[in-house]
Amino acid sequence: MFTKTSTSKIVRIVRKSFFGIIAIFILLILVLSFFLYENIYTAITQSEEIVILQGQLALKPVDISLFRKISKRIEAKKARAEIMLDELKNPFLPYNDIIK
């Protein structure tokens, strides 16, 4: 009933489909591993980092009003007073008459 050519065709189809199924299986494993890495492993590592950083927080709260007072004083020291040129004494004023 079956000839030699028909069985060899069936064997080829089975081999091709077997390698295709293996390739699809490997592709699915790669996609699944990438999904697990991105969604589970990174979330776990980030939560571990949050726990570590919470232990490094300052133990004493910061006094905001004191901080503002100090920053205002620093800004006041940095700000320069405007110089009124009219009020300055001119050291060369007595000699202006001689030069003219």
- Two structure tokens written together for 76: 């006041």
| 94 pLDDT tier (thresholds 50, 70, 90) | low
Instruction: Compute the half-sphere exposure of residue 23: CA atoms within 13 Å on the CB side of its CA.
Output: 6
Q: How many CB atoms lie within 10 A of CB 68?
A: 10
pLDDT at 98: 55
Q: What rounded mean pLDDT belongs to the chain?
A: 81
pLDDT at 96: 56
Using CA atoms, how far apart are residues 48 and 67, in angstroms rounded to an integer?
32
Distances (CA, A) of 91 to 50, 74, 85: 66, 34, 13
| 4 pLDDT tier (thresholds 50, 70, 90) | low
pLDDT at 30: 96
pLDDT, tens only, 19-51: 888 888 999 999 999 999 998 888 888 888 888
